[in-house]
């Protein structure tokens, strides 16, 4: 049987054998000799050296080298571009600082010959008021602006059911809405809290507390005294900090009055314009001042000349800490400060003030000189006015005229 032997093709001379050997051609041997004689041999290059180090040492060495390069680059950048001392703690402050105010003053005798000095400046506008006042500080201060927290005003209002109650509460509530915060309105009712009063307080948008005086009405000589005492007890128990002011709902108040209340340290007083009970003349009751020092009193009623302090209930205000921190004001007794119901009518004010201050030297007249009327007590309410339930009339007009 004939057999055919195939000769090995010249194209496969460089093929490897299965046992790992290989036959090299002449061309492959010449290339190997060329690479071994070249000065750019792969075994002697930096890249090959670095690759070998990586295979032997692993990734910890790579991390160490990267860290060294980073530190070296950072130090080189600081030496070329700046110093470490250039970085100050103020550069990382998160405080909101107002922009600088640029003011230029042109002296008299300029180009126009004796013209008035003109001040050009950029005014700072603060749209959001968060219970702080902005005041200009000294020239040595860095930013020139100080933020002073406003004192809280604690306005106490006793009220009761009557025909004009809704009108009085709405009027006083609208005035308090114009007063810069913080303002706390404490409204006190007798026996129970009416839904009508609660609705008015809700609609004002003010911060308020609706309290109830649970005193038996048959034993009450002066309803307003016990209602104010309920508010004083609430302030003392919760240690409310601020300036307490008794504001009856039927009085008339100016915004300037509430602005001046925040300047009071211990006890402040001012004159009040009143309409006499006969409604045929106006009288003035309150302090006579030399700047802010009280030196005397205005009074026009002979029956009240025996009073120690001639002040109306809406003519004074005091610091609330007097109620719950007697040691701060060196009060001789720690008894609660309350209004007295057993005294004669018209003497509630003076007996209450005698518990707060000793004499006129501890009082502050406001405004300076006590020369402005900021509160009016007019007694204009009609006592025979019919009080409808819920402040709404069940019937419309008695007579309806058709339109022709």
Choose between 169 and 395: higher pLDDT.
169
Choose between 122 and 375: higher pLDDT.
375
pLDDT of 127 > 60? The answer is no
Q: Considering all CA atoms of the chain, what is the largest pairwise distance in Å, rounded to the nearest integer?
A: 161
Choose between 140 and 315: higher pLDDT.
315
pLDDT at 116: 44
Average pLDDT, the chain: 75
Choose between 60 and 263: higher pLDDT.
263
Rounded to a whole number of angstroms, the distance between the first and last alpha carbons of the chain is 140
> What is the per-residue pLDDT across 365-376, written as a single tens digit (0 to 9) for each?
999 889 899 999
Q: What values do phi and psi take at 43, rounded to 5?
A: -70, -20
> What is the per-residue pLDDT across 180-201, written as a single tens digit (0 to 9) for each?
999 999 999 998 999 999 999 9
pLDDT at 319: 96
> What is the per-residue pLDDT across 90-117, written as a single tens digit (0 to 9) for each?
444 444 454 444 444 444 444 444 444 4
Tokens (6 digits) for 370: 């006590």
pLDDT at 399: 57
Mean pLDDT calculated for residue range 25-41:
46
pLDDT of 320 > 90? The answer is yes
Which of 106-110, 337-341, 384-388 ranks highest by mean pLDDT?
337-341
pLDDT at 93: 44
pLDDT of 348 > 50? The answer is yes
Where do the domains of the chain lie, and which CATH numbers do they carry? 153-377 (3.90.550.10)
CA 85 to chain centre: 37
Catalytic residues: 349
Least confident of 115-124, 144-153, 226-235: 115-124
pTM: 0.63
Mean pLDDT calculated for residue range 386-391:
57
Under a CB-based contact definition with an 8 Å cutoff, are residues 186 and 205 in contact?
no
Mean pLDDT calculated for residue range 126-152:
61
Tokens (6 digits) for 389: 């339930």
In DSSP terms, which residues pair with 297 in a beta bridge?
Answer: 287
Mean pLDDT calculated for residue range 211-224:
85
> What is the per-residue pLDDT across 221-271, written as a single tens digit (0 to 9) for each?
889 999 999 999 999 999 999 999 999 999 999 999 999 999 999 999 999
- Give the chain's count of helices (H) and strands (E): 10, 16
Least confident of 82-86, 326-330, 347-351: 82-86
pLDDT at 382: 59
pLDDT at 142: 52
pLDDT of 391 > 60? The answer is no
Q: Is 133 annotated as a binding residue?
A: no
pLDDT of 161 > 60? The answer is yes
pLDDT > 90 in the chain, percent: 42
pLDDT at 199: 95
Under a CB-based contact definition with an 8 Å cutoff, are residues 188 and 211 in contact?
yes
CA-closest candidate to residue 228, choices 248, 204, 199, 256: 248
CA-closest candidate to residue 348, choices 263, 237, 228: 228
- Name the CA radius of gyration of the chain, rounded: 45
CA distance 316 to 244: 9
Residue with tokens 């005698």: 354
Task: Please provide the DSSP assignment of 96-157 as one string.
Answer: --PPPP--EEPPSSSTTSSPPP-EE-PPP-----SSEEEEE--TTSSS-EEEEEPPPEEEEE
């Amino acid at each position: 049987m004939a057999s055919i032997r195939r000769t090995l093709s010249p194209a496969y001379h460089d093929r490897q054998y299965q046992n790992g050997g290989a036959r090299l051609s002449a061309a492959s041997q010449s290339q190997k000799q060329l690479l071994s004689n070249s000065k750019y041999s792969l075994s002697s290059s930096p890249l090959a050296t670095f690759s070998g180090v990586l295979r032997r040492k692993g990734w910890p060495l790579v991390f160490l080298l990267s860290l060294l390069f980073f530190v070296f680059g950072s130090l080189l950048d600081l030496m070329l571009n700046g110093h470490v001392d250039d970085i100050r703690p103020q550069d990382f402050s998160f405080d909101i600082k107002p922009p600088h105010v640029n003011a230029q003053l042109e002296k008299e005798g300029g180009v126009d010959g004796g013209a008035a000095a003109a001040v050009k400046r950029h005014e700072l506008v603060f749209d959001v008021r968060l219970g702080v006042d902005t005041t200009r500080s000294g020239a040595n201060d860095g930013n020139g602006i100080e933020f002073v927290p406003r004192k809280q005003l604690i306005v106490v209002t006793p009220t009761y059911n009557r025909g004009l109650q809704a009108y009085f509460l709405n009027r006083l509530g609208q005035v308090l809405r114009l007063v810069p915060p913080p303002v706390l309105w404490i409204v006190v009712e007798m026996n129970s809290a009416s839904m009508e009063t609660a609705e008015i307080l809700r609609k004002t948008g003010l911060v308020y507390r609706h309290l109830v005086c649970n005193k038996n009405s048959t034993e009450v000589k002066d309803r307003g005294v016990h209602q104010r005492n309920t508010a004083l007890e609430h302030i003392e128990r919760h240690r409310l900090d601020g300036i307490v002011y008794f504001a009856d709902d039927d009085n008339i108040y100016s915004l300037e009055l509430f602005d001046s209340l925040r300047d009071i340290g211990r006890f402040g007083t001012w004159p009040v314009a009143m309409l006499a009970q006969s409604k045929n003349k106006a009288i003035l009751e309150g302090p006579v001042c030399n700047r802010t020092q009280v030196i005397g009193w205005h009074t026009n009623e002979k029956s009240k000349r025996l009073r120690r302090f001639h002040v109306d209930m809406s003519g004074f205000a005091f610091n609330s800490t007097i109620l719950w921190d007697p040691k701060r004001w060196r009060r001789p007794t720690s008894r609660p400060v309350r209004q007295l119901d057993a005294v004669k009518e018209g003497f509630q004010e003076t007996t209450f003030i005698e518990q707060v201050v000793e004499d006129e030297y501890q009082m502050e007249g406001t405004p300076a000189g006590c020369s402005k009327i900021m509160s009016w007590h007019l007694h204009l309410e009609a006592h025979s006015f019919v009080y409808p339930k819920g402040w709404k009339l069940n019937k419309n007009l008695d007579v309806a005229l058709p339109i022709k």
